[in-house]
Amino acid sequence: MSAQGSFDRQAILKRCKEEGVRFLRLQFTDILGTNKNVEVPAGQFGKALDGEIAFDGSSIEGFVRIEESDMLLRPDLDTFRIFPWEEAGGRVARVLCDIVRTDGAAFEGCPRTVLRRASELALRAGYTVMLGPEAEFFLFLRDSEGGPTTRTHDRGAYFDMTPVDRGEECRRSIVNALESMGFEIEAAHHEVAPGQHEIDFKYDEAVATADKIVTLKLVVRKVALDFNLHATFMPKPLDGVNGSGMHTHQSLFRDGRNCFHDPQAELELSDVAMYYIGGLLDHAKGLCAVTNPLVNSFKRMVPGYEAPTAIVWSEHNRSPLVRIPTRRGDGTRVELRSPDSSCNPYLAFAVMIGAGLDGIRRKLQPGPPVNRNIFTMSHRERRRLRIDDMPADLRDAIAAMKKDPLVRDVLGEHIYSHFVEAKSAAWAEYSATVHPWEVDRYLARF
């Protein structure tokens, strides 16, 4: 069974009865990417699958004002899955939902609808967007009261074959759970930092890929808890080690053919691929608040820790924003290295697609590749090559987002305005907070 199955109402009801499913979670995300759900008992399954379950949208981050709060959950039946673990009261299944108004009209604040709209824009241009994200996360120990710490259980490194520890056992259990739900996992391994792991899905169409990421987050946290570990997708929880990213591989297909591959072109990259790269680079600053949405996201994006800080592309090295993996043919793709897993994948993928399509539409050339290590270049060398920098912090990213009309157009006015408001408030709160570093540095000296 593929990650996106094929179900109808009767098949789901029959399966729930056969498997003893007692509760169905109607799952969706708010604009910040937080998983939400409304859970119904077996007696309400039919009503839920018919899209007749209402909820109060005014209680969800960035949805609607209280005077227009009633929303409906419209399930995507192909996303039906039964969780592979037992819960108190009986087995639980889930189905992902789009948010609609009570008259059936699409709700402009639904992140999943935003990504579907971007995918449909690509289809109208003749392309099917295929994405393959690499989701990284940390597994930390819990304290005696069950609270999260930043202590790890291992001292492993990238692809290490260390003796099996609790973190590795947990990761294997996560993979088993995902596979039992029908997802195809391409790789799972230890990452560079202690306690850091990565799980990669097989590439898929855009909406299906975002669905996988929100499912991954839920499963990772649940299984980690079973191992008395805390899983976090926080981009930079530890000083002095690499942070967690979500490098996103992207390609466009038409009639089963990869439109990024041209065996006759230099580097075997088609004009379409070059224009797509040009679009990603042109809108890199404007996308950044969406792909890297936390104050903490920018603690990861500093020189020396494999996260990009410069707006350039490369054939092979890992310091630029956009990298071209070596595979060609159907495997030809571009890798955007800036996103992290704290983003809302529906919104992040939507703005990436919008940027790439804009590059194709405007025939934007990305310039020559920079195949040297940018982190070791002098300031003069960077200026000579006209290498621009990514935003330095969330404030700069919000400012860049406000200057890029494409991001507003892709997200729609509703999500755009609520997103900017939420992120501006987060930055203001962070700026007004006295942090331990300041106390340690200044209290005794001044």
Residues 6+ apart with CB under 8 A from 94: 24, 25, 26, 27, 37, 79, 80, 81, 83
Q: Which of 335, 340, 358, 404 is catalytic?
A: 335
Q: Which of 333, 337, 395, 418 is catalytic?
A: 337
268 is catalytic: no
198 is catalytic: yes
Number of C-alpha atoms within 13 angstroms, CB side, residue 86?
Answer: 4
Q: Which of 189, 318, 328, 372 is catalytic?
A: 318
Q: Which of 134, 168, 340, 404 is catalytic?
A: 134
136 is catalytic: yes
56 is catalytic: yes
Q: Which of 94, 153, 247, 283 is catalytic?
A: 247
Q: Which of 191, 204, 262, 358 is catalytic?
A: 191
CA distance 162 to 158: 11
Q: Which of 25, 30, 98, 136 is catalytic?
A: 136
52 is catalytic: no
247 is catalytic: yes
CA distance 60 to 153: 36
Q: Which of 8, 50, 52, 56 is catalytic?
A: 56
335 is catalytic: yes
Q: Which of 98, 198, 262, 358 is catalytic?
A: 198
> Cα torsion for 284, 290, 292, 296, to the nearest 10°?
140
- Are the C-beta atoms of residues 391 and 285 closer than 8 Å to each other? yes
Computed on alpha carbons and rounded to an integer, the radius of gyration of the chain in Å comes to 22
Distances in Å between the alpha carbon of 280 and those of 166, 290, 301, 412, 423? Answer: 39, 13, 17, 19, 22
Residues 6+ apart with CB under 8 A from 326: 316
Please report where in the chains the tokens 């937080």 appear, as a residue: 34
Catalytic residues: 56, 134, 136, 191, 198, 247, 318, 335, 337
